[in-house]
């Protein structure tokens, strides 16, 4: 950690109350052309290691995901570990996990934008990309877990020769609509702030890349009118996408909550899932930011300990909020007094798979609560990487507890069952992790990973203002 404080060439004691403003990205401005050059270099530099990873992950996607999925389609679902009474297994677990991850982008980007949290500037795009790719990975699962995926279009409401309509009472239809809405809107929301950066890239590339950026930049020239419209559009989208984000995970929670299954039938699942999604999503943003910072050229200029610090505080708050909802779920379930629910809750903590439950508690509560209160830890990127990875392991365990473990304990002991994921299922899960990483890896070299115009805007507009005793960075000149 001592080495970490020297990172920017300045030795700083931990007791130092007010950090040097120069440590903050907003007060360490560089010329615009310099920033543009750095982002362009970041985008175009590829090492041998990068290509090895890209090829490895690409093979992973083809073999682990599509190979295993194809095998499962051709042989039937018996290759999974599903059995009566556990009809949803690790596929649904990972589905909820990815949808949770996808909340990060919107949360970090839209909510922080709406609240004008200035530390968001350099990593909004990294977060938005997570939303889009997390959804891409997650949206595969409702297809993967179908018994007859080849007729998945039966679920899409469109006038058809079968004379059939979908059942709008089914949460699965709500799911389909919510996820497609979210995918579409988050992609647009990713694209809007990207336009000026694409124009920047267009002006600094040649050949095929130039032509591609030219099309994607939609003829952006940077006139006053264009900026005005862009800001307006981003503002509208930032506000509009927040309810969409909340609705998506609430609906995913309703998949469980509207059912009759003891342990799922809980009104708190909506907000509980949202908090969990935000916790895992923001954690995943930190994980990704650490990887970006240590692999992309010049990224350590844009991503600084202050950002890990700020996100660390957010994670701590959400971990506590998650704990509140978690215990609420248990408390009300216990107080409700339904014998089956009580039994399930007891068996989570004492049954054969209790280690999953304890893993969840340790990773989601013990780890962040014991570490993230500490400023020094929050400002150490590699430690934050480990902590946030742990939190996501915990969140996976949480979903695992909710889906197969709860299903395994039914109302009558005659129907109880145990579920063990089988190789094909594990392979598909790993395959979607490969897919996400692969898409992210490739995209990091195709589009500017730092919204450079937002950073420039922030650097130009930031001033320090003394309010009381503290010096507060403000952006009073903007908007």
Q: Give me the residues that bind another protein (CB under 8 A), please.
A: 75-78, 80, 82-85, 87-88, 142, 145-149, 151-152, 154-155, 164-167, 169-173, 176, 255, 258-261, 407, 410-412, 414-415, 417
What is the DSSP code (8-state) at residue 416? -
Cβ–Cβ < 8 Å for 403, 89: yes
Q: Considering the complex, what minimum distance in angstroms separates the CB of residue 264 from another protein?
A: 8
State how far the Cα of 387 lies from the Cα of 385, in Å rounded to an integer.
6
Q: Judged by CB, which is closer to another protein: 155, or 216?
A: 155
Cβ–Cβ < 8 Å for 110, 252: no
Q: Considering the complex, what minimum distance in angstroms separates the CB of residue 180 from another protein?
A: 14
Q: Judged by CB, which is closer to another protein: 103, or 399?
A: 399
Q: Judged by CB, which is closer to another protein: 76, or 222?
A: 76
Q: Judged by CB, which is closer to another protein: 49, or 84?
A: 84
Peptide bond into 85 cis (omega under 30): yes
Q: Judged by CB, which is closer to another protein: 11, or 151?
A: 151
Q: Judged by CB, which is closer to another protein: 170, or 211?
A: 170
Q: Considering the complex, what minimum distance in angstroms separates the CB of residue 146 from another protein?
A: 5
Backbone angles phi, psi at 421, to 5 degrees: -60, 140
Backbone angles phi, psi at 302, to 5 degrees: -80, -40
Q: Judged by CB, which is closer to another protein: 139, or 449?
A: 139
State how far the Cα of 401 lies from the Cα of 374, in Å rounded to an integer.
30
Q: Judged by CB, which is closer to another protein: 256, or 433?
A: 256
State how far the Cα of 315 lies from the Cα of 390, in Å rounded to an integer.
12
DSSP assignment of 378-403: HT-HHHHHHHHHHHHHHHHHHHHIII
Cβ–Cβ < 8 Å for 369, 313: no
Instruction: Give which of 179, 172, 183, 184 is closest to 146, Cα–Cα.
Output: 172
- Taken as a whole, the chain contains a residue count of 479
User: CB neighbours (10 Å) of residue 132?
Assistant: 21
Q: Considering the complex, what minimum distance in angstroms separates the CB of residue 388 from another protein?
A: 32
Q: Considering the complex, what minimum distance in angstroms separates the CB of residue 238 from another protein?
A: 32
What is the DSSP code (8-state) at residue 300? H
Q: Considering the complex, what minimum distance in angstroms separates the CB of residue 344 from another protein?
A: 14
Q: Considering the complex, what minimum distance in angstroms separates the CB of residue 87 from another protein?
A: 4
Instruction: Give which of 272, 254, 256, 273 is closest to 404, Cα–Cα.
Output: 256
Q: Considering the complex, what minimum distance in angstroms separates the CB of residue 135 from another protein?
A: 19
Q: Judged by CB, which is closer to another protein: 77, or 110?
A: 77
User: CB neighbours (10 Å) of residue 84?
Assistant: 9
Q: Considering the complex, what minimum distance in angstroms separates the CB of residue 85 from another protein?
A: 5
């Amino acid at each position: 950690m001592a080495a970490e404080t020297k990172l920017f060439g300045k030795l700083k004691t931990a007791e130092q109350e007010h950090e040097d403003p120069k440590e903050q990205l907003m007060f360490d401005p560089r010329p615009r052309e310099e920033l543009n050059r750095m982002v362009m270099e970041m985008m175009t530099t590829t090492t041998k290691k990068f290509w090895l990873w890209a090829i490895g992950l690409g093979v992973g996607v083809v073999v682990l995901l599509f190979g295993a999925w194809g095998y499962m389609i051709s042989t039937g679902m018996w290759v999974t570990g599903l059995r009566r009474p556990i009809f949803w297994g690790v596929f649904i677990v990972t589905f909820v996990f990815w949808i949770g991850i996808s909340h990060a982008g919107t949360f970090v980007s839209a909510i922080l934008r709406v609240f004008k949290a200035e530390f968001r500037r350099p990593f909004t795009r990294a977060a938005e990309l997570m939303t889009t790719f997390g959804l891409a990975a997650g949206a595969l699962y409702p297809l993967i877990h179908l018994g007859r995926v080849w007729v998945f279009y039966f679920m899409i409401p469109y006038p058809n020769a079968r004379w059939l309509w979908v059942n709008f009472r089914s949460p699965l239809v709500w799911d389909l609509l919510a996820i497609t809405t979210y995918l579409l809107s988050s992609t647009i929301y990713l694209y809007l702030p990207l336009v000026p950066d694409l124009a920047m890239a267009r002006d600094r590339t040649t050949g095929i890349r130039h032509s591609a950026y030219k099309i994607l930049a939609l003829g952006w020239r940077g006139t006053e009118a264009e900026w005005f419209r862009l800001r307006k559009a981003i503002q509208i989208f930032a506000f509009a996408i927040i309810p969409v984000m909340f609705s998506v995970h609430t609906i995913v929670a309703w998949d469980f909550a509207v059912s009759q299954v003891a342990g799922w039938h809980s009104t708190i699942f909506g907000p509980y899932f949202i908090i969990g999604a935000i916790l895992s999503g923001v954690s995943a943003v930190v994980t990704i930011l650490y990887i970006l910072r240590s692999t992309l050229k010049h990224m350590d200029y844009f991503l600084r300990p202050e950002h890990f610090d700020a996100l660390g505080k957010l994670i701590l708050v959400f971990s506590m909020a998650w704990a509140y909802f978690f215990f609420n779920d248990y408390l009300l379930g216990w107080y409700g007094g339904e014998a089956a629910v009580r039994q399930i809750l007891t068996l989570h903590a004492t049954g054969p798979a209790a280690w999953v439950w304890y893993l969840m508690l340790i990773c989601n509560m013990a780890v962040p609560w014991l570490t993230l209160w500490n400023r020094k830890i929050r400002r150490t990127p590699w430690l934050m990487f480990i902590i946030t990875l742990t939190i996501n392991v915990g969140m996976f365990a949480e979903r695992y507890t909710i889906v197969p473990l709860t299903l395994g304990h039914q109302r009558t002991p005659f129907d109880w069952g145990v579920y063990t994921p089988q190789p094909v299922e594990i392979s598909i899960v790993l395959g979607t992790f490969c897919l996400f990483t692969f898409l992210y890896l490739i995209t990091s070299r195709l589009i500017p990973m730092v919204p450079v115009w937002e950073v420039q805007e922030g650097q130009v507009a930031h001033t320090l203002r003394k309010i009381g005793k503290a010096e507060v960075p403000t952006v009073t000149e903007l908007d």
